[in-house]
Chains A and B, each alone.
Chain A
Amino acid sequence: MRRDEQGHLNKDELVMAVVGEAGLAEEMRKHLALCRHCVAEKERLARDLAVLGEMAKGFTPPLRKTVIIPDEQFFRHSRPWGWRLAFGTTLATAVVVIMLSLFLFRPTPGVNLAALNKEMLSDERLMTEISMLENNPMPPKWEAIAGETDSTVDEAFIDFVVPLGADDEVS
């Protein structure tokens, strides 16, 4: 904004003079110190601004909520019963439940009766075979020749193996 012919301060420079003279150039500050007109303009502007400030206050509703700066807000929300506590509690509960489940429902060896019975049957078969071998290690087909009693061998089979009256022919 241009200055007038007498070198008075323009509006911007007057505003600057109200806000703080330090912002003005040296030449302007000297002029302001000597010029009654500029001083009067500056005081008038200051008064107008003061009135405007008062009017603004009148139109501004009173503050009902405390303004919290971001850092303060962060610290207020980080209290122990926040998300972290909820997450920690859930995690701890889950761990306890898992541990209890493992303890209560673990497959204990020897309690599985079905598998144990199967194993016992299998072992019984093995031991029966071993007993038979102990009692008679000879080949089963020799039993009839040796006269071993076996209910599964009928007389016809014995006759076939050892025909009556044919002893001399058998070598």
Chain B
Amino acid sequence: MLKNKLVWILFAVVSLFPVVSRAAEDSPAGRWWRLPQVAAQLNLSEQEKQQLDSLYLENRKKLIDLKSSLERERLVLEDIMDNEPLNEQQAFEQFRKLNKVRSILVEERFRYFLEVRKIIGSDRFQKLKLLADAFRKRDRFGRE
């Protein structure tokens, strides 16, 4: 019963977590700036493309590391929750740890979005969002 309550509490905290990266979730995946039609529509220079390449590589490296960390912390939490007797304090501590990694992950996604916005500027950023919507409606971004 205690475990059930704890699980409920953990999920309540999770659901209250602010979704900072909502906009980032809507951003197209991959190196969309390398698609000829997108690059042409946004009038991207080769220098900007290279900046986006570097940003993408760095961001994805961090995201992969953070994802692994998050999964590892989740596994530890799962193990704590399976222990008998249950150590409630330890479980919460682990959950906070997990949540911290998660918040860093969300922040990193948002940072990527922010950097893209800085590289391409306001106007093209708005255009990119419209393009992303349009492409998403065609199933996938830039693919048919």
Instruction: Tell me whether B102 and A133 are in contact (CB under 8 A).
Output: yes
Q: Which residues from B are CB-within-8-Å of A129?
A: 67
The majority secondary structure among interface residues of chain A is: helix
Instruction: Give the complex CA separation of A123 and B143 in angstroms.
Output: 14
A-B contact count (CB 8 A): 101
Instruction: Give the complex CA separation of A127 and B32 in angstroms.
Output: 14
Count of chain A residues near B, Cβ 8 A: 33
| Complex interface residues of chain A between 107 and 146 (CB less than 8 A to chain B) | 109-111, 113, 116-117, 119-124, 126-127, 129-131, 133-139, 142, 145-146
In this assembly, does A170 line the interface, its C-beta being within 8 Å of a C-beta of chain B? yes
In this assembly, does A148 line the interface, its C-beta being within 8 Å of a C-beta of chain B? yes
Instruction: Tell me whether A119 and B74 are in contact (CB under 8 A).
Output: no
Interface set of B (CB-CB < 8 Å, partner A)? 1-4, 7-8, 10-11, 14, 19, 21, 25, 28-32, 34-36, 39, 49, 60, 63-64, 67, 70-71, 73-75, 77-78, 98-99, 102, 105-106, 109, 140-143
Interface set of A (CB-CB < 8 Å, partner B)? 109-111, 113, 116-117, 119-124, 126-127, 129-131, 133-139, 142, 145-148, 167-168, 170-171
